[in-house]
Amino acid sequence: MERKFKVYIYKDGDPKTFYQTPRKLTGKYSSEGYFFQNIRESKFVTEDPNEAHLFFIPISCHKMRGKGTSYENMTIIVQNYVDSLIAKYPYWNRTMGADHFFVTCHDVGVRATEGHPFLVKNAIRVVCSPSYDVGYIPHKDVALPQVLQPFALPAGGNDIENRTTLGFWAGHRNSKIRVILARQWENDTELDISNNRINRATGPLVYQKRFYRTKFCICPGGSQVNSARITDSIHYGCVPVILSDYYDLPFNDIIDWRKFAVVLREKDVYDLKQILKNITQEEFATLHNNLVKVQKHFQWNSPPIRHDTFHMVMYELWLRHHVIKY
């Protein structure tokens, strides 16, 4: 794949507005920015569209959001941009866009592309909000992990003896599952469940340090099924407990999440404590050791490094590049 796979990046669009460059490389939507940067640093890019397996549409919806663009105008901007590429180049029409892809980590990006039906139906969508119930197509689209970089503290791992708290979650009640989680367990003595985010006034990096001393970190969906808490958990060596329905987990085609995470349905929240207590220390050790092995897959680098997040995304795209050309 690394030697053969080639991607052509459309050069159209003013980089100072919404094209070619991301908004920034920090924050919870930084995965979008890192991909834009990494692909240009990689050997996958070709200047010859005739040797390309896929075509990258470099429009940054996150950048639009940062400039205060309305949802309606975003949709128009995306539609006009894609239509201009279709009119100018012959490549889209060969497959009706099936060998094209775009990347967006903000959920507004998914909404902004809905104005162009073939962009949703045919093109590969690389998104941070891969929910089955909002039009995400697993065999076509790619789940992009939401990674909050730079990480505040070093990676955790091989420190099982320090993990004395059974489970941990702290956050806003911005979804039904989070409301239930907080109501059910916030007063429990074995699960460390906080109704709100931890106040920074309590001390530096208190939130991050709790990951280090916890066995299982609860990862319920928020306003979307995804959460940067999942990759935080992986980085800090805390076994993630996925508590989201309709979630196509990142790199599901490549790695087995059940070997390093606990994957539950939202209805399991009522039995959460017992489910976690039923996991033996030996089983937990296996999950933790496997978790340490996959940490490299959930880390962005510049320039990219083999097996990191960028290369995992590229392999997912490689798996989807076989299309029929009309």
Question: Does 170 fall in a domain?
Answer: yes
Co-location of 11 and 95 in the same domain: yes
Residues 14 and 143 both lie in one domain: yes
Q: Are residues 13 and 145 in the same domain?
A: yes
Residue 155 lies in a domain: no
Residues 127 and 233 in one domain: no
Mean pLDDT of 298-326: 88
Q: Is residue 272 part of a domain?
A: yes
Rounded Cα–Cα distance for residues 296 and 84 (Å): 38
Q: What's the total number of domains in the chain?
A: 2
Residues 201 and 290 in one domain: yes
Range of the structural domain that residue 197 is part of: 160-298
Query: Are 66 and 104 found together in one domain?
Result: yes
Q: 264 or 62, which is more confident?
A: 264
- Contact assessment for residue 314 and residue 259, using Cβ atoms and an 8 Å cutoff: no
- b or e along 46-74 (b: 16 or more beta carbons within 10 Å of the residue's beta carbon)? eeeeeebbbbbbbbbbbbbbeeebeeeeb
- For residue 7, the one-letter residue type is V
CATH number of the domain encompassing residue 166? 3.40.50.2000
Task: Please write the tens of the pLDDT for every residue from 56-108.
Answer: 998 887 777 767 778 788 888 889 889 999 999 999 999 999 999 999 887 77
Coil, strand or helix at 152: coil
Q: Establish if 1 belongs to a structural domain.
A: no
Residue 169 sits in the same domain as residue 144:
no
0.85 exceeded by pTM: yes
Is 266 found in the same domain as 138?
A: no
Residues 107 and 179 in one domain: no
Asked if the structure places residue 293 within a domain, the reply is: yes
- Which neighbouring-strand residues pair with 240? 217
